[in-house]
Amino acid sequence: MSAGAVACRSRWARGLLALLLVALVSGCAHHNPLAQWARSPNHDTRRPVLVVLHYTAGETAEGSLRTLQTANSNGPVSAHYLLGKDGTLYQLVDERKRAWHAGGGRWGAITDINSASIGIEIDNDGRSPYPEVQIERLIVLLDDLTTRLGIPRSQIIGHQDLAPGRKIDPGPLFPWRRLYQAGFGIWPDPAAGEPPAAFDGWLALAALGYPLEDPAATLRAFRHRFRGIDSDSAVLEEEDRRILHALTRPLLPAAVPAP
């Protein structure tokens, strides 16, 4: 090979390497071409702060898996995980990415739920009890997610909690108390006592994170989760107030002893 050919090949190789480096930097950095790239090491991956539990409303995990992997008739949906009745666990979306599981809704000040959460679909038709093997596997998964991603263990909510009136999953049969006994979610303290006369149950619901735009729907979601009943009444009952007082009492500042 002539010296000219060698030099030409060398220039070609250097040019190809330069193009590959540009593509690599562009693909990894995602920087704005309007700005000069001046990389800082002071950053990390965006982290979820919630786990949202759903039921599939389907008959089989395999059918739900197809729905979550395709552009179905109601529009594309997904979740980070799907948990079968027998405890089989599937991961569908990278935890660092947004899965399309929550839709419109709000929890406290969080309005873009998909960007702030991990979504878990649980294989259940909405009418049947959840098998113990499925809940045991869910507890293992929640322990892994909250430990590894730094999600507070109290921040486990249902789809209905963030979208009352639009969604009802995971429904009144979901064993929230069982989850709490394993260290996840929240549950009222039976020793909290009666709420004071001035206790405002609606403010307590808002303090927990519930949206109040549709009071009847919000109470239905709350009763599904904490009372295991289905009720369309928009009137706070005494049992609702007792539960809300027990749930929000830890949020109140500690009393300052008198001097």
Q: What is the set of active-site residues? A: 121
Q: How far apart are CA 117 and CA 5, in angstroms?
A: 57
Closest CA to 113 of 61, 161, 179: 161
- Both tokens assigned to 49: 């702060």
Distances (CA, A) of 159 to 22, 51, 114, 253: 43, 10, 11, 29
Closest CA to 105 of 156, 163, 51: 163
Q: How far apart are CA 221 and CA 106, in angstroms?
A: 13
Q: How far apart are CA 164 and CA 201, in angstroms?
A: 17
Q: How far apart are CA 254 and CA 79, in angstroms?
A: 39
Long-range (24+ apart) CB contacts under 8 A made by 245-248 are 245/192, 245/193, 245/194, 245/195, 245/196, 245/199, 245/204, 246/188, 246/189, 246/190, 246/192, 247/186, 247/187, 247/188, 247/204, 247/208, 248/204, 248/207, 248/208
